[in-house]
């Protein structure tokens, strides 16, 4: 017996460990945008809430759960005279080639879920282009029934639109879907959609951050199959 008929995953911080993937990528992006200028790097890092010394995003970063456009606007604010559209395109293209660090070995993990008859989807505030590139590079794109980014026409989390689009696409009632994510944006969207919500700790949020919005908070997605059987 399973708690759900379908599982909807966030991407960054959920399928992929956030710091190992995105904090590494961001350090390089900051250097590129600053042209190696230390003062410019410091300004960008401050705007992004990124610790240059530690090479990690801070939990307060507006980029962590934001869209690609919001990230571009944040970084452009620290670079007077810069073009937001150009930065947005740069983020999209470089993000698609970010060094991926899966939270668990994804191929056997997803095959196990599909083997139980579960429908699977990904909803991210990244671009759909970036999402498909990352899932494809990890060899798992075809294992998902639905993939949406903030630019796919359904809205961006924390609004429930993309989550409800997944439920419609796989013909499953929202109450039979589990939304799995590492941020309050994910879980707030899940609640608004009428879905069960599970938080994971492979992002920047703590258990205390996620618990008020979640039915359970797990160390990583590898613990989800056990929770589904409970």
pLDDT, tens digit, for every residue of 87-110?
999 999 998 888 899 999 999 999
- The arithmetic mean of pLDDT across residues 138-151, rounded, is 97
Q: Is the pLDDT of residue 1 over 80?
A: no
Six token digits for residue 118 = 């579960």
* 191 CA to centre of own chain: 17
Query: 194: how many CB neighbours lie within 10 A of its CB?
Result: 15
Q: Is residue 215 part of a domain?
A: yes
Q: To the nearest 10°, the Cα dihedral for 161, 164, 168, 169?
A: 70
Q: What percent of the chain has pLDDT over 70?
A: 100
Number of domains in the chain: 2
Are 118 and 163 within one domain?
yes
Are 212 and 119 within one domain?
yes
Are 117 and 207 within one domain?
yes
Considering the entire predicted model, what is its pTM?
Answer: 0.88
**pLDDT at res. 180:** 98
CATH number reported for the structural domain that contains residue 119 in this entry = 3.40.50.1000
By residue range, what is the domain housing residue 85? Answer: 19-95
- Of 62, 95, 128, the position where a domain reaches its end is 95
Q: Is residue 1 part of a domain?
A: no
Q: What percent of the chain has pLDDT over 90?
A: 89
* 124 CA to centre of own chain: 5
Partnered with residue 101 across adjacent β-strands are none
- Of 95, 113, 140, the position where a domain reaches its end is 95
Are 11 and 123 within one domain?
yes
pLDDT, tens digit, for every residue of 46-91?
999 999 999 999 989 999 888 999 999 999 999 999 999 999 999 9
Are 155 and 84 within one domain?
no
User: How many Å apart are CA 202 and CA 18, to the nearest integer?
Assistant: 6
**pLDDT at res. 193:** 98
Partnered with residue 6 across adjacent β-strands are 119, 177
């Amino acid at each position: 017996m399973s708690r759900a008929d379908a599982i909807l995953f966030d991407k960054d911080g959920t399928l992929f460990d956030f710091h190992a993937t995105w904090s590494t990528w961001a350090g390089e992006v900051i250097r590129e945008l600053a042209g190696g200028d230390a003062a410019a790097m410091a300004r960008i890092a401050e705007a992004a809430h990124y610790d240059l010394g530690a090479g990690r995003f801070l939990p307060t970063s507006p980029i962590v759960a934001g869209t690609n456009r919001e990230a571009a606007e944040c970084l452009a604010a620290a670079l007077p005279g810069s073009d937001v559209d150009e930065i947005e395109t740069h983020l999209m293209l470089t993000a698609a080639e970010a060094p991926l660090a899966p939270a668990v070995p994804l191929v056997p993990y997803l095959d196990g879920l599909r083997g139980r008859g579960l429908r699977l989807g990904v909803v991210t505030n990244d671009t759909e282009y970036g999402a498909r590139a990352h899932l494809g590079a990890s060899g798992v794109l075809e294992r998902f029934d639905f993939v949406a980014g903030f630019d796919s026409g359904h809205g961006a989390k924390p609004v429930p639109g993309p989550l409800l689009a997944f439920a419609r696409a796989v013909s499953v009632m929202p109450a039979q879907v589990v939304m799995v994510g590492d941020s309050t944006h994910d879980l707030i969207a899940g609640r608004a959609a009428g879905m069960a919500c599970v938080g994971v700790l492979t992002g920047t949020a703590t258990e205390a951050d996620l618990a008020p919005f979640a039915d359970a908070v797990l160390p990583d997605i590898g613990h989800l199959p056990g929770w589904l059987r409970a």
